[in-house]
């Protein structure tokens, strides 16, 4: 784990981890921002839970599992084209998550539709983090 992967900075850490692996024009919001008027796909990071367990096993003192919901939203609002773009967007996000260390997604992603009409996907992500920075790695 990098020394920046600590609980108090874990939202920013998650953003910094996945942003370089996503298409460059995408936007990533590490906070609960109200959806802006989108022109490009956007990923919203919702920090929902901290836990001392991963896969039912308790963690060592100092380790924390942080749970997130990532919502990837595309700007298009209707039509087969919009749905194709939404499905392509979730694939890009899954590939970015699969290529990242010390986190995993799943078990499943679900499709969503905002009141304003945009399509997207919601993916649960678990990040292993710590209460204090690791000093030796």
**Contact residues for another protein (CB under 8 A)?**
54-55, 57-63, 104, 106, 126, 128, 136-137
**CA neighbor of 111 nearest in space, from 82, 75, 72, 76:** 72
Helix or strand run (H / E) with residue 29: strand 27-29
Contact yes or no for 52/58 (Cβ under 8 A): yes
DSSP code of 41? -
Cβ proximity to another protein: between 39 and 136 the closer is: 136
Minimum CB distance to another protein, residue 57 (Å): 6
Q: How far is the CB of 83 from another protein (least distance, A)?
A: 29
Give min distance, CB of 61 to another protein, in A: 5
Q: Which is nearer to another protein, 97 or 119 (CB)?
A: 97
Total number of residues shown for the chain: 137
Query: Which of 65, 82 has the CB closer to another protein?
Result: 65
| Nearest-approach distance from CB 107 to another protein, in angstroms | 10
Q: How far is the CB of 69 from another protein (least distance, A)?
A: 17
* Nearer Cβ to another protein (47/104): 104
Give the span between the Cα atoms of 26 and 131, in whole angstroms. Answer: 30
Cα–Cα distance between 25 and 19 in angstroms, integer?
A: 10
> Can you list the alpha helix ranges (DSSP code H) found in the chain?
10-18, 79-98
Q: Closest CB to another protein among 24 and 137?
A: 137
């Amino acid at each position: 784990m990098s020394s920046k992967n600590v609980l108090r900075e874990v939202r920013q850490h998650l953003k910094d981890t996945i942003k370089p692996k996503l298409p460059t024009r995408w936007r990533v919001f590490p906070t609960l921002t109200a959806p802006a008027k989108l022109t490009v796909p956007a990923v919203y990071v919702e920090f929902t839970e901290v836990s001392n367990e991963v896969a039912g096993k308790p963690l060592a003192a100092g380790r924390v599992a942080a749970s997130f919901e990532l919502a990837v939203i595309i700007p298009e609002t209707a039509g087969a084209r919009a749905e194709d773009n939404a499905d392509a967007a979730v694939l890009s996000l899954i590939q970015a998550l699969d290529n990242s260390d010390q986190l995993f997604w799943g078990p499943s992603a679900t499709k969503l539709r905002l009141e304003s009409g945009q399509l997207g996907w919601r993916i649960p992500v678990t990040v292993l983090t710590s209460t204090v920075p690791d000093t030796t790695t």
